[in-house]
A and B are shown apart, each in its own frame.
Chain A
Amino acid sequence: MRPSFFHHLHPPTIPAAQAQWRYTLGAGGIAVMLVLVLLVTGALEMFFYIPTPDQAGPSIQTIAFLVPFGGLVRNLHYWAAQALIVVAAVHLLRVVFTAAYVPPRRFNYLLGLALLVLSLLLDFTGYALRWDEGVRWALVAGTNLLKTVPWMGGGLYALAVGGPEPGGATLIRFYAWHVFGLVLPLVILSAWHLFRVRRDGGIAVPPPTARATAERISRNELVRREALAALIAGVALLALALWRAAPLAPPITIGSVGIAEARAPWFLLWVQQLLRWGDPFWAGVFVPLALTVGLALIPYLLPGPPRSQLGRWFPPGGRLAQIITGAIALLMIGLTVLALYP
């Protein structure tokens, strides 16, 4: 078979042991597929969505209820966005738990972390575009957190909100960030991330002398497996989109009687739980920022395992990084459960 463009994105052959699902989890590839779904469905939503406080809700209802397949497009966009956060987090854990971040892959680890942060920002800005009672308090609390940053808080708030309180200026700002300001860096960094995978020698593998077998698979087989993963993920996504519609509440009206409980979007529930206990700056800004910086520093500060230990789960040389990252993940999950079931 004559290799196509997609085949040429892959190395000619890779070691069979590291091409297995149980090693990669397929998370990076599925993340790429989800980003593609998000770009297409997002572009389609732009044909109808109107980023003004009066029109946001009605235009979303037009998409969801009137436009043929509009509900499906919106649900796919919603579920792909939620799945991207999960898949990207799983990908990060896989990389840390297999110590794939050791040189020469340190820089690509940083690119990946930046992509996770961009995905979270995209998810939050997209969530706010609903401009309904369901997002109101998360928007108020989230933007007020910026004010608590020492000496630059007021400036950050003005930059993000564009006014004295969340309003029309905020919605159009979030829209601009969501459809362009964050998407452009996401696409560029994604391409860079994929390029660096090839440049750094493909997936992390042990040196030839440390391999159990010399068996390799061809790029044809690799592309076949990726297509299969995309197909399975696509079916799952479609099932989710048909099973549960993306949420939509009545539009924000000033002075409306609040709802009994105001929940943050699910991926920020752990921060909301921290905020119930702590000072806004420390719990809501410092801790999330410190955790991100801490994760970024792992390949630079902690000793990595020798190359002979690469290509498998939980190499003993990366124990400290595994324990720290595992603890952070458990902490976030624990706080989320606490927020859901107080």
Chain B
Amino acid sequence: MPDVSRRDFLTLLRDGLLAGSGLLALGGLTRFLSYQTEPPPTTEFDLGPAANYPIGSRTRLPDVPAILIHNASGFSALSLVCTHLGCTVEQKVDGSICPCHGSRYDEQGNVLRGPANRPLRALRVEPNAGGHLILHTD
């Protein structure tokens, strides 16, 4: 066993305790600052009666934000949140474009031009018992 003088040992102990206290405080601070005061955002949107959306319509839902598509195969919805860094994409005639970094998507949400590398997220749309369309974002 190597020789450790009493002074060296106490110095080591002091430095260790200081470092440990610092780390504990940092951990506590992180937990303190990480507390979330806001409830998670709603993941269900009541879109009203399905009859409001005739076949062939594409309706922008700014609150979600998403676009509701009604075509021959039924209802579907596309999120308008850019998959690159989360800006809301702008609707154009033949698809959409992100104002932040210029990603382009076609009408089905597929990437036409980067930097995004994933298609716009497809969202679930289901009618409820009362005939209302419910959009799920989870």
Q: Are chains A and B native binding partners rather than an unrelated pairing? A: yes
Chain A residues at the B interface, C-beta cutoff of 8 Å: 137, 140-141, 144-145, 155, 158-159, 162-165, 167-169, 254-262, 272, 275-280, 283-284
Interface pick from B9-17, B36-44, B70-78, B126-134: B36-44
Q: Is the pair B37, A164 in contact by a Cβ cutoff of 8 Å?
A: no
Which of B18-26, B51-59, B81-89 lines the interface with chain A? Answer: B81-89
Q: Lowest 5 CB-CB distances: which A-B pairs, in order? A: A255-B62, A163-B38, A262-B99, A141-B85, A144-B86
B100 touches A141 (CB 8 A): yes
A255-B62, A275-B100, A275-B101 are known; give 16 further A-B pairs, CB within 8 A. Answer: A137-B99, A140-B87, A141-B87, A141-B100, A144-B86, A164-B40, A169-B38, A254-B62, A254-B63, A258-B88, A275-B84, A275-B115, A276-B101, A277-B114, A280-B85, A283-B115
A259 CA / B90 CA spacing, docked (Å): 9
User: How many of chain B's residues touch chain A, expressed as a range?
Assistant: 20 to 34
Q: Which positions 83-136 of chain B face chain A at CB distance < 8 Å?
A: 84-88, 90, 99-102, 114-115
Residues of B at under 8 Å CB distance from A? 30, 33-38, 40-41, 62-63, 65, 84-88, 90, 99-102, 114-115
A278 to B99, CA, bound (A): 16
| Given A272-B101, A275-B85; A260-B37 close (CB under 8 Å) | no
Is B38 a contact partner of A158 (Cβ separation < 8 A)? Answer: no
CA A159 to CA B26, docked complex, whole Å = 13
A-B contact pairs, 8 of them (CB 8 A): A137-B100, A141-B85, A141-B101, A155-B30, A159-B34, A272-B100, A275-B101, A279-B115
Could you tell me the distance between the alpha carbons of A163 and B88 in the complex, rounded to whole angstroms?
19
Which residues from chain B contact A145 at a C-beta distance below 8 Å? Answer: 85
Q: A26 → chain B, closest Cβ, in Å?
A: 38
Tell me whether A255 and B65 are in contact in the complex, defined as CB-CB below 8 angstroms, given that A137-B100, A159-B34, A164-B40 are known contacts.
yes
